[in-house]
Structure 1
Amino acid sequence: MKNERWAPHVTVAAVIERDGRFLMVEEQTADGLRINQPAGHLEAGETLLQAAIRETLEETAHTFAPQALVGVYMTHIDKPGSGTTYLRFTFCGTCSAEPAPRTLDAGIVRTLWLTPDELRACRERHRTPLVMRSLDDYLAGQRFALDLLHTHSVGPPVADAP
């Protein structure tokens, strides 16, 4: 038996409000067309903030400026024959007024600016329950300073002295 180490999938998401509306993406998934905050996986070598900025740009063409951490969420998605655990870091902040001229990530159908009521009315189309949970936390004023997060990088091994 192979000794494999379990690890959750680390993801980031961005809550971006403008004039009472929130920047969302409509994306094609294995479960059909779903609505989500700009979100995605942390990639090797990047910080959580870098991942949130990159994912927002790739999915919306807007430049994201994180201002606070809304929350850290863990969810387990059960699928027939398997399951996946996600550890999601959700940030809030501002974004560029206009999207950059670029192609959106594969699977992203379009961006939407929706009110909280519009989002509540389509819960069945949310990618995960974390979409509404993190928005509700944001609306309740939940914010944590970004200096709560620390990234420690370990460089290449240093050769032993002779």
Structure 2
Amino acid sequence: MVHAELTVAAVVCIDNRFLVVEEFAHGKRVINQPAGHVETGETLLDAVVRETFEETAWRFTPTGLVGMYHWPHEDGRTTLRFAFCGEVGQHAPDQPLDDGIIAAHWLSAEQLSARDDLRSPLVLQSIADYNDLEALSLDRVKHIHGR
């Protein structure tokens, strides 16, 4: 049986530049979208709002579902990621960022494509899907309680 790590990511684009984070992961400096694990009791939408703020100090409002990504890693782990597009509002520049986060940046798709330090293939895939596909309505994202 596969046990997947449930994660979320934010795809935010302003003036053809995407919000990304520079972070330490597995001993390396890498570029990723604001992303992270869904905590117990949290909805997918709550998780992406929280992760985006913790990693970038930007308040994020999801507006659509870019895609769902099943990624089996070479080491046997599996990630199931839900990527949401949306808008950022208030920025809190004095807010300390999560451990491991170096800085938030705004980079174009071309700049990201030219890099060799992306954390995973999910970064470029979700940006391509954001650019090429219509986001699904958040009405498609359900949080079911109970039995």
Which category describes the TM-score, using the shorter chain as reference length? over 0.9
**2: CA distance between counterparts of 1:102 and 1:46?**
22
1:89 counterpart residue number: 82
Q: Tell me by how many angstroms 1:78 deviates.
A: 1.7
**2: CA distance between counterparts of 1:63 and 1:100?**
11
**1: CA distance between counterparts of 2:50 and 2:58?**
10
**1: CA distance between counterparts of 2:68 and 2:21?**
20
Q: Secondary structure at the match of 1:94?
A: strand
5+ residue gaps, structure 1: 156-162
Matched, 1:23 2:16: no
Q: How does 1:108-147 map to 2 (within 5 A)?
A: 108-122=101-115, 124-147=116-139
Does structure 1 conserve the Cα–Cα contact (< 8 Å) formed by 2:67 and 2:83? Answer: yes
Does structure 1 conserve the Cα–Cα contact (< 8 Å) formed by 2:10 and 2:48? Answer: yes
Q: How does 1:68-107 map to 2 (within 5 A)?
A: 68-79=64-75, 83-107=76-100
CA deviation vs aligned residue, 1:55-105 (integer Å, no higher than 9, x gap): 0000001000000000000101123xxx21000000000012533521100
Aligned residues between the structures: 147
* Structure ID, larger Rg: 1
CA deviation vs aligned residue, 1:130-150 (integer Å, no higher than 9, x gap): 100000000113310001011
Counterpart among 43, 47, 52 of residue 47 in structure 1: 43
Does structure 2 conserve the Cα–Cα contact (< 8 Å) formed by 1:71 and 1:142? Answer: no
Question: % of aligned pairs identical?
Answer: 44
5+ residue gaps, structure 2: none
**2: CA distance between counterparts of 1:66 and 1:125?**
26
Q: Secondary structure at the match of 1:96?
A: strand
Give the TM-score, by structure 1 length: 0.86
Q: Secondary structure at the match of 1:89?
A: strand
Structure 1 stretch 136-145 or stretch 106-115: which is displaced more?
136-145
RMSD of aligned Cα (Å): 1.4
Give the TM-score, by structure 2 length: 0.95
Q: Secondary structure at the match of 1:51?
A: helix
